[in-house]
Amino acid sequence: MQRLYRKRIVLGVGGGIAAYKSAELVRRLRDQGAEVRVVMTHGGREFITPLTLQALSGHPVHLELLDPEAEAGMGHIELARWADLVLIAPATAELLARLAQGNANDLLTTLVLATDATVALAPAMNQAMWRDPATQANLELLASRGLKVFGPASGSQACGDVGLGRMLEADDLAQLAADCFQRQALDGKHVLITAGPTQENIDPVRYITNHSSGKMGFALAEAAAEAGARVTLVSGPVHLPTPDRVSRIDVVSARDMLAACEAAMPCDLLIAAAAVADYRPEVVAQHKLKKDPTTGDGLFLQMVRNPDILATLAGRDDRPFSVGFAAETENLLDYASRKLRDKNLDLIVANDVANPTIGFNSEENAITIIDREQRQTSFAQTSKGKIARQLIAFIADRLNQA
């Protein structure tokens, strides 16, 4: 399994001969599933070219603190926020000294001061420089501030000396980088989530829909991504920002949603939180329908059933662990249990949309989960974000037991 799957790593390359190892390190980090952005000091560029690291990382290399194009959007701050881990390899004696002093006189040192991510150092220097009391004092100070120190190793050095000071090999550094992260509940899983309403056209200007805001589904997508999953979010028409690290597919009708879900398969986990229209007009008028005086005050629409997205996906030969939602206004648990059975689901999440404090468009929710054995687990009313995290943790536990 890729232990660094979807993790964001900024690799800082200092000015030492060990910088040549950074090329292999980028490859090893990406082999583990990480996304890597490289920041180089001026000294680092003397030992390995930015073009090499750009080709290996798949992203432009960041070089200057005062880059007019990047700084239009405060680029160094955005990079600091983007990172899950800042790994500096090689970390030279000079770079360690600047970090210990809290300097911000280039892009890399500024980024270290600005980030909330874990910062790890892979020292690389001559054995005498490593043993020097100033270097050891700087390392002790940096470690006391929470920075991690990886290595160094002992062995022959470029200068001909033998001793401590060699930068660890790329495989070892990639392993230590992975150890900075706890294993998450949905690591390596593909999660498909539907959210929001669908719209079924009557004519070019009118449609049938419902009051779903999509907030619960989007909160679930965010929580699943936080739990380490690769998340595909298929959403009906809503006005919500896409959660970080979530792949979003926008659709309109129920048939559009089914097609998008089938194209996104296979997945390990399906969470169907969308409020899908059960019916659609049999015929969609090509032009806006006008009032017809011969029919009185009424308008007759012939409706037909939409495909059942959840039952279709849960009935596949490669069916995922399937979780549905039952949004009801009466007989909540009875209707939810019936839906669980009829659609061949593993879990059903029931919520009372007749309650205005937890219904459509509200910021809070309260749910009851029912499993195949009709066991019920309830989560008290709280924000949809918190409910989503509780629900993802519950589902992940059941999924990993399956």
For the annotated binding site for CTP, the residues are: 278, 288, 307-310, 325, 339, 343
Asked if residue 358 lies in contact with residue 343, where contact means CB atoms within 8 angstroms, the answer is no
For every residue of 158-211, DSSP letters joined together read: TTS-EEEEEPPPHHHHHHHHHHTSPPPTTTT-EEEEEESB--EEEETTEEE---
- 97 neighbors 138 (Cβ within 8 angstroms): yes
Q: Which amino acid is at 221?
A: A
* 3 state DSSP class of 50: helix
What's the CA gap between 369 and 333, in Å, rounded? 9
The whole-angstrom separation of Cα 325 and Cα 328 is: 9
Positions at the binding site: 278, 288, 307-310, 325, 339, 343
Contacts of 7 (CB under 8 A, 6+ apart): 33, 34, 35, 84, 85, 181
**In whole angstroms, what is the distance from residue 334 CA to residue 340 CA?**
10
CB pairs under 8 A, 24+ apart, for 234-237? 234/192, 234/193, 234/194, 234/195, 234/260, 234/261, 234/264, 234/274, 235/194, 235/195, 235/196, 235/274, 236/195, 236/196, 236/197, 236/198, 236/199, 236/212, 236/274, 236/275, 237/196, 237/197, 237/199, 237/209
Active-site residue, selected from the candidate residues 159, 180, 261, 267? 159
Task: Answer yes or no: 159 catalytic.
Answer: yes
What is the token pair recorded at 25?
Answer: 């390190």
Please identify every residue annotated as catalytic: 159
